[in-house]
Structure 1
Amino acid sequence: MTAQQEPEPQFEAESALQELVSTGLERLTAEGVARRIWERDASLWKTDRAVQQEIRERLGWLTVANTMQERLQEIEGLVEAVRQDGYRYAVLLGMGGSSLCPEVLRLTFGVAPGYLDLFVLDTTDPDTIRAVEERIDLGKTLFIVASKSGETIETLSHFRYFWQRVSELGGEGGAHFIAITDPGTSLEQLAHDHRFRHVFANPPDIGGRYSALSFFGLVPGALIGVDIKQLLTRAQEAMSRCSASQPVADNPGLRLGAVLGALGTHGRDKITFVLSPAIASYGYWVEQLIAESTGKEGRGLLPVEGEALGAPSVYGNDRLFVYLRLEGDDNAALDEGLARLRTAGQPLVRFHLADRYDLGAQFFIWELATAVAGIFLQINAFDQPNVQESKDNTARLLERFRREGKLPELEPVISEGALRVYGRRMGEGKEGLDSYLQAFLDQVRPGDYIALMAYVRRSEVNESALQALRLRLRDRYRVATTLGYGPRFLHSTGQLHKGGPNNGVFIQITGDVKQDVPIPGESYTFGILKEAQALGDLFALSAHERRNIRIAIGGDLAAGLQALAQRLVPVEQQGDGQPSH
């Protein structure tokens, strides 16, 4: 059967990998996995009865598209009311599963005429908070306070700040706020106490990363003018193609899950996304879904998003490439690059999207496929045990700040110019910056990945410098690279970092805060909160014996990042396509 005749997803690989997937599909058929998933049979993932009950309480995503079709009037009523009241902006205060789908929709669809422009605030970086506030008119802004648990520290801190700012305008402050949360949370009570304009009670049987097609994704999407009914219809069509009545070979969710699971358990565990330019942000959402769902018990699949295509020589044999190709987009360079990789023997999964609303189908297919991959990995795809670890570290550090008025100060192992480096001692002869950094990177081995964790403002200048740095590292060491902004990634890839296999090499990057922002009712500021989160994450990595380093850049961040790139990978080391070991 040719690739064009195959049902989607189309899978192209050498015969040995094809055989692995065929065996995986046979297993799914023999074990009745499709039927059992739709029957919510939690024994597919775990044998412990208590854990099975927790899993059953997290499978609402299977049918949430149907549920939401029945709730469209509630969403549309809110959208029409705020438009009539003259609102022009919306700011989403949320993290992880509460923020990533809305950001994808905003970047993919833009803002329809007459609808609200959406800003997604999923950071504690003070400079970013100030930048968002400068771009909106507070008197014409709707704030979306979104948290499944209702207790997310970043989201509640954002709320406190903007509640105070709106209150300074006078009038009814609650009219500027809506909440999206589970029924019965403290956020629901807070919203009632502050007389929010509306509270959307989300179905509670859905984990945050599986909530794209619930109120968490749909309400922000509707506010910018996305046709959410059409988005849900595409998801329902995918549900039909993934139903228990469909043969496994024709079921896109199970086919994809078999590819991810079978190859991932045989070394091809770096799921590298190649996305048409107009849907490039889809990688933000699917990264969290895969990393947080699979990265636990020492196992996991690493999603690699935003890493530009390179020559075949810079990739190892641990990659699986996934191409979401949007019809009519500027795909020529991607088509050519992937053709070279296929010729070199790299495996490839292809999806063809007729238009942007096909993302509705992709949300559902990837949720199902990730759950199926969890069966192969023998993990619970619906918990996130190590996310809490960094949160607890942060809480302890903030309590210390309340008592002592300061956070613990780390002692740098190297200070040179604007760069201060923190980490373990590397032994004699490694005292200089260049030799120390080289010794740290000498730990990189084939099959590893390098994670850049940037606790800095997301801006075009910083993004460009960080992307250039990751590609220099990728090309030099021939390993997968990821780039995450803190604390945003703590709700995304953070679970995989600590709970997944110990094959990550972590570089935390921090910069100076230009102007801090207070958190009303707290003794600490957003800058202190961000620093506590960075330290808490670093401590968690060290507790799990992960290879990690912290690099603090003083002064001009962009210039510091460029200097860092040169120090980490000097010009004479670039482009040789060989690891340094």
Structure 2
Amino acid sequence: MAEHPGDVAVTLLDQRLAEEAKPLVAGLVTDQVASKLTAQDPTLWGQEAESEAAIRLSWTTLHDSSRPLLAEIDALRAELRAEGVDRVVLAGMGGSSLAPEVITGTAGVPLVVLDTTDPGQVADALAGELSRTVIVVSSKSGSTVETDSHRRIFEKAFTDEGIDAASRIVVVTDPGSPLEESSVAAGYRRVFQADPHVGGRYSALTAFGLVPAGLAGADVAGLLDEAAAAAQKLSVDSPDNPGLVLGAALAAAHARGAEKVVLADTGSAVKGFGDWAEQLVAESTGKNGTGLLPVVVDGPDAAGFHDAGSDATAVAIGPAAGAARIATEGSLGGLVLLWEYATAVAGRLLGINPFDQPDVEAAKKAARALLDSTGDEQADEPALVDGPIEVHASEGLLPEGTTTVAAAVHALLSAAPEHGYVSVQAYLDRLDDASAVLLRTEVARKSGLQTTFGWGPRFLHSTGQYHKGGHQNGVFLQVTGAVEQDLEVPDRPYTLGVLQQAQALGDGQVLVEHGRPVLRLHFTDRAAGLAHLVAALAEVHG
């Protein structure tokens, strides 16, 4: 067990798994993997991965190298507060939003996170007190379409309110990115350069995690202290190194067919850690037809955790509980570094490069192509309409004569192979349509399959890589909804609603090209559609 705030611990509760992991850990110790990883040795993942690894390993020492940021963040926060600006909105996707959300959630300080293209959710953020608002625009590449849209919308809103927009925009990006250049030219309040030698999903302790969280009031200095304490264990070549033990256990489980990792918080006091770990593990390992699929559930009694089968490993974030086979404990800073080390180690044992994401761009390209088309060309005729739901299905999925949503969902679940998985993808408002998360539990119960849930397009920057590059045994349930009030994107030829639809259709198109079954349910009325779908799921035969 973790003994002090900076400590981390991994407990293997499954004796068979512990025995299978032991020789893997011994090999890692012999090969000095922990110390080489800390020293940023890019050769650990083979020759093909070396060039990418060489520019992606600075995360191992961020607990030291990020410290100069602390005074800058504190000074900017004090400036803003003195001006009456104390509401922080974050526009970011993937690693740029997930880590700050966990940090502020755990600290109990407010942060408005925009990692969506849903017009309603963005409108709600705009409806806050703009006179008290600063927006942090975070993008590693500097060209993220969602984040660029948010920046344009907020810049216009500030201006329309008679507020100097440049004074309310803070930017976090890689040095030399298009966003850095345009932000400096526009005179934005502050442009923070993030460490370019850290990938997005490993960036929790860079400016991407620290700036928005620190401006919101989280103790980011304490976070670095926690990571520094954990690093003392994680950098040592020892069979007791928790990073080696966790990485080896996940790889050993995968070798016996448990390619899914079910994550449940069991009293860790860390809020939303599973969502952050989901991106780290899925995007790092899901490629070349292999990988670990994280399944985030709401507790140890949830479907998929308490009844995890031979294809899944139940992992507790916090003390051992329920059917957990592995328990990981520690402070937030310690857990972040633990899972980063373990994921890099698992990548080595799985024979993949944990620092690239070769399949992410495909969905982005498909969405861009649809944005360039007309709205009529984007839309396709539904296969059937059942009340407030239009049903769209990949070719050959629905049996002839299918007339109901229940029958369509049954056809999708029946298309999943043994030990496959179901991915529920909701392109809706994460706040107003929050009850959609209940779909994961219901689908898991009905199907008996491991079931993930993701808000679109947020998951495209997370599990989206695994869906195309990992084990090809998933079936996909997309949920989209009518837009009541759309939002224009200034100086762009599309609205947020059009962008949201293009992202859903584009990703579905790529999944179909990979031979995966896709069922899209479009709610012509969101509240009525969700109620109708829940009722339909009750009729689905397991």
Q: TM-score with structure 2 length normalisation?
A: 0.94
For the residues of structure 2 that align with 1:427 and 1:487, how far apart are their CA atoms? 26
How much does 1:472 deviate?
2.1
Matched, 1:509 2:479: yes
The answer as to whether partners of 2:399 and 2:411 remain within 8 angstroms in 1 is no
For the residues of structure 1 that align with 2:475 and 2:71, how far apart are their CA atoms? 48
Alignment of 1:99-498 (within 5 A): 99-111=97-109, 117-134=110-127, 136-243=128-235, 246-276=236-266, 278-308=269-299, 309-310=301-302, 314-325=307-318, 338-339=321-322, 341=323, 348-353=325-330, 358-401=331-374, 406-423=376-393, 424-426=395-397, 429-433=400-404, 434-459=406-431, 462-464=433-435, 466-498=436-468
How much does 1:406 deviate?
4.3
**CA distances 1:210-242 after superposition (whole Å, capped 9, x unpaired):** 000011111111112211111101101111111
For the residues of structure 1 that align with 2:490 and 2:415, how far apart are their CA atoms? 44
Paired letter, 2:174 = D
For the residues of structure 1 that align with 2:74 and 2:44, how far apart are their CA atoms? 38
Match of 1:331 in 2: none
Alignment of 1:510-525 (within 5 A): 510-525=480-495
**TM-aligned CA distance change 1:44 to 1:521, over 3 Å:** same
Paired letter, 1:248 = S
**CA distances 1:171-218 after superposition (whole Å, capped 9, x unpaired):** 532110110001011111111111111111111000011000011111
Matched, 1:566 2:535: yes
How much does 1:270 deviate?
1.5
Match of 1:8 in 2: 9
Residue from 72, 78, 81 that aligns with 1:74: 72
C-alpha RMSD of the superposition: 2.2
The answer as to whether partners of 2:233 and 2:242 remain within 8 angstroms in 1 is yes
For the residues of structure 1 that align with 2:491 and 2:294, how far apart are their CA atoms? 38
The answer as to whether partners of 1:407 and 1:532 remain within 8 angstroms in 2 is no
How much does 1:352 deviate?
3.3
Match of 1:548 in 2: 518
The answer as to whether partners of 1:106 and 1:224 remain within 8 angstroms in 2 is yes
How much does 1:320 deviate?
1.3
**CA distances 1:111-170 after superposition (whole Å, capped 9, x unpaired):** 2xxxxx420111010000111111x21122111010001010111111111111111233
Match of 2:95 in 1: 97
Q: Higher mean Cα deviation, 161-170 or 93-102?
A: 161-170
Paired letter, 1:450 = V
Aligned residues: 534
How much does 1:443 deviate?
1.7
Paired letter, 1:361 = G
For the residues of structure 1 that align with 2:72 and 2:229, how far apart are their CA atoms? 23
**TM-aligned CA distance change 1:426 to 1:192, over 3 Å:** closer
How much does 1:428 deviate?
5.3
The answer as to whether partners of 2:96 and 2:208 remain within 8 angstroms in 1 is yes
**TM-aligned CA distance change 1:426 to 1:275, over 3 Å:** closer
**TM-aligned CA distance change 1:88 to 1:468, over 3 Å:** same
The answer as to whether partners of 2:32 and 2:237 remain within 8 angstroms in 1 is no
For the residues of structure 2 that align with 1:43 and 1:549, how far apart are their CA atoms? 42
The answer as to whether partners of 1:268 and 1:319 remain within 8 angstroms in 2 is yes
Match of 1:114 in 2: none
**CA distances 1:327-361 after superposition (whole Å, capped 9, x unpaired):** xxxxxxxx6xx34x2xxxxx5212334xxxx1011
The answer as to whether partners of 2:40 and 2:58 remain within 8 angstroms in 1 is no
Paired letter, 2:381 = E
For the residues of structure 2 that align with 1:146 and 1:28, how far apart are their CA atoms? 36
Paired letter, 2:264 = V
For the residues of structure 1 that align with 2:177 and 2:376, how far apart are their CA atoms? 32
Q: TM-score with structure 1 length normalisation?
A: 0.88
Paired letter, 2:270 = I
**CA distances 1:457-479 after superposition (whole Å, capped 9, x unpaired):** 1126x333x33322122123222
The answer as to whether partners of 2:8 and 2:328 remain within 8 angstroms in 1 is no
SS in 2 for 1:108: helix
**CA distances 1:11-37 after superposition (whole Å, capped 9, x unpaired):** 11033x222111211221232212332
Paired letter, 2:98 = L
How much does 1:426 deviate?
4.2
Question: Percent same amino acid at aligned positions?
Answer: 39
How much does 1:3 deviate?
12
How much does 1:417 deviate?
1.5
Alignment of 1:55-74 (within 5 A): 55-74=53-72
**TM-aligned CA distance change 1:198 to 1:435, over 3 Å:** closer
How much does 1:385 deviate?
1.1
For the residues of structure 1 that align with 2:376 and 2:107, how far apart are their CA atoms? 44
Paired letter, 1:474 = A
For the residues of structure 1 that align with 2:152 and 2:104, how far apart are their CA atoms? 25
The answer as to whether partners of 1:398 and 1:407 remain within 8 angstroms in 2 is no
Match of 1:29 in 2: 29
How much does 1:429 deviate?
4.5
The answer as to whether partners of 1:386 and 1:498 remain within 8 angstroms in 2 is yes
For the residues of structure 2 that align with 1:156 and 1:281, how far apart are their CA atoms? 26
How much does 1:8 deviate?
2.1
Structure 1 unaligned segments of length 5 or more: list them: 112-116, 327-334, 342-346, 574-579
Match of 1:86 in 2: 84
Paired letter, 1:348 = R
**TM-aligned CA distance change 1:440 to 1:227, over 3 Å:** closer
